[in-house]
Chain A
């Protein structure tokens, strides 16, 4: 990349200027490039340092944590992780979280796909208002709805179930899913729809056989975003659950006990919550940049 850039610079400047000038321009480009790399590495180090500290701590015993700072665990231990994986009340938290996040992802995609298609292809009464209304739900602070949510889901008998959390999270994942998918769908030319109809495809058949494969990457990105926002949310998830569907993030607060904080255990639990996110982003890494711009750059 560096070579390509500099050789292009040389080519462009070389045709216009004398030899000494182009070598100066070349050096300038390379310097800027190096400075950029240095800055990026510095930023990434600062970014990863707090996470590293957490990982580092999760392999230490509590006595070592409290006895002083060290960059590597001297008394390397897996006891904190063993405790989490050995206790169902701990590891079920992860299962619960993953369970409701997946449910949320499926529900969001199923309802958002047709809706996004409607928004990207048709004009209908109240479409703009509907779209803004959907987005306005993304803007509603969860704190506002905490108590009503609790009462609503208790009254329909869904309190402390996975589906309750999945549905509650739909309030912000569905608008986002519609928004992202609409952006991706608008990028598909209308002519494809029309050709398919002329060829005798019915709408459902066209949608499943032709249209969905076309926006595959968009669907992947949308699923990623649903995952992301449902995974990181805690306030609603905690309010709507007590035992059976309690998310890991809420279980973590248990590490505060009468005898003080169990820092090692807390750190280990924290590290384990980061892993699923990293796995998911690895799968969509090539499309995620477009998805962050909600399909509209």
Chain B
């Protein structure tokens, strides 16, 4: 790492970013904090209730279930997407027209608006008009994501894998491109097996991008809202209701502003904590290099 010059005037350069993000981040955040300690009946009648909402949220079994589902979901997709993404990246051609084409095709799902992703799978999974649903029925599985919780889970996970594996793949692809050709030549001279090349040359070089990938995927899967909302609406029952959705249901559906705000803060803190751990790891690893 290059040494940086100590200069506090650099704050002037950062100021615009600070102001614009602060406007959209700090004011709403303080509003949430404000709600979380008050009981609000209407805009003019409100009482200070202290930590009551927080206690209530911590003990709410619905939220515990949503949190548990959220963790299971996030880990499931990480376990599938990371190895699959690495495999795809290893298979992608490195040069020429094929490389550009593969890159563009792989990236397509990332550029589709999230509710359209939900719509695509909503259509694709239906047994009457969708190919996937029809295929499942065709092989004799009684598949219906709208009424069977297992099928709903399968579809939501499949949708996420379809949607976000490209991100991991592209990250790994860029990591692989950064490995100098000399390494491979050395491996060839040593008659290293394909596995050995992967294990001792490619994988170590991928650690950095993989951490970014895991971080982004963890964050985003923890915030997931639109896709399951469009696909299953959180059902059947509440089997695919993840944290965001439970939150929106409470805040807008039931208009329980206080508890919803307290819930928001707890939710945000969990994400922040995990991400801080990841971020410090990345920064320390870069320092070591």
Within 8 A of B (CB), among A261-297: 263, 266-267, 270, 273-274, 276-278, 280-282, 285-286, 288-294, 296-297
CB of B208 within 8 Å of the partner chain: yes
Find out whether the CB atom of B24 lies under 8 angstroms from the CB atom of A167.
yes
Q: CB distance B28 to A235 under 8 Å?
A: no
Interface string of B220-262 (1 = CB under 8 A from A): 0011011000000000000000011101100110000100100
Chain B residue total in the interface (Cβ 8 A): 102
Identify which of B44-52, B55-63, B87-95, B143-151 touches chain A.
Answer: B87-95
Determine if A139 is an interface residue (Cβ-Cβ < 8 Å).
yes
Given contacts A39-B91, A135-B275, A232-B114, contact A119 B14 (CB under 8 A): yes
Stretch in A76-84, A122-130, A208-216 with 4+ CB within 8 Å of B: A122-130
A167 and B20 within 8 A (CB): yes
User: Quick check: B271 and A139 within 8 Å, CB to CB?
Assistant: yes
The residues in A between 133 and 147 inclusive whose CB is less than 8 angstroms from any CB of B are 134-147
Contact status A66-B105, CB under 8 Å: no
The reply to whether the CB of B219 lies closer than 8 angstroms to some CB of chain A is yes
**Bound form: Cα–Cα A154–B222 in Å:** 28
Give the Cβ gap from A214 to chain B, nearest Cβ, in Å. 16
Asked if A254 is an interface residue, CB under 8 A from chain B, the answer is no
* Shortest Cβ-Cβ A-B pairs, 9 listed: A277-B111, A148-B28, A122-B10, A148-B31, A118-B13, A289-B174, A118-B10, A141-B223, A114-B13
Residues of A contacting B24 with CB < 8 Å?
Answer: 149, 152, 167-168, 170-171
Residue of A nearest to B27 (CB): A152
**Pairwise interchain contact B129-A289, C-beta atoms closer than 8 A:** no
Which chain B residues numbered 10 to 32 have a C-beta less than 8 Å away from chain A?
Answer: 10-11, 13-14, 16-18, 20-21, 23-25, 27-29, 31-32
Q: Is the CB of B174 within 8 A of A293?
A: yes
In the complex, the answer to whether B108 meets A288 with C-beta atoms within 8 Å is no
Interface string of A13-47 (1 = CB under 8 A from B): 10010000000010000001000110110011011
The answer to whether A218 has its CB under 8 Å from any CB of chain B is no
A189 to B265, CA, bound (A): 42
Residue in A closest to B248 when the chains form the complex, CB atoms: A143
Residues of chain A lying within 8 A (CB to CB) of residue B162: 46-47, 50
A-B contact count (CB 8 A): 296
Q: Is A54 close to B, CB under 8 A?
A: yes
Q: Please tell me if B116 contacts chain A, counting CB pairs below 8 Å.
A: yes
Q: Which of A130, A232, A294 contacts B212 (CB 8 A)?
A: A294
B37: interface (CB < 8 Å): no
Chain B residues in contact with chain A, CB under 8 A?
Answer: 2, 4-11, 13-14, 16-18, 20-21, 23-25, 27-29, 31-32, 87-88, 90-96, 100, 102-116, 119-121, 123-124, 128-132, 134, 162, 166-167, 170-171, 173-175, 177-178, 185, 188-189, 191, 194, 208-209, 212, 219, 222-223, 225-226, 243-245, 247-248, 251-252, 257, 260, 264-265, 267-268, 271-272, 275-276, 279, 286
Bound form: Cα–Cα A293–B23 in Å: 28
Task: List 17 A-B pairs, Cβ < 8 Å.
Answer: A44-B106, A50-B121, A119-B14, A125-B11, A142-B244, A167-B20, A171-B21, A228-B110, A233-B113, A235-B226, A253-B115, A263-B123, A266-B123, A285-B103, A288-B170, A289-B103, A296-B286
Instruction: Specify which chain B residues have a CB less than 8 angstroms from the CB of A103 in the assembled complex.
Output: none
The docked-state distance in angstroms from the alpha carbon of A127 to that of B94 is: 38
Contact assessment for B268 and A178 in the assembled complex, using a CB-CB cutoff below 8 Å: no
Which residues of chain A from 83 to 137 have any CB-CB distance to chain B below 8 Å in the complex?
107, 110-112, 114-115, 117-119, 121-125, 127, 130, 132, 134-137
- Pick the contact of B91: A40, A112, A142 (CB < 8 A): A40
Known pairs A125-B11, A190-B2. 4 more at Cβ < 8 A? A54-B124, A141-B225, A143-B223, A274-B111
In the complex, the answer to whether B112 meets A232 with C-beta atoms within 8 Å is: yes
The interface residues of chain B lying within 8 Å CB-to-CB of A242 are: none
Specify which chain A residues have a CB less than 8 angstroms from the CB of B88 in the assembled complex.
40, 43
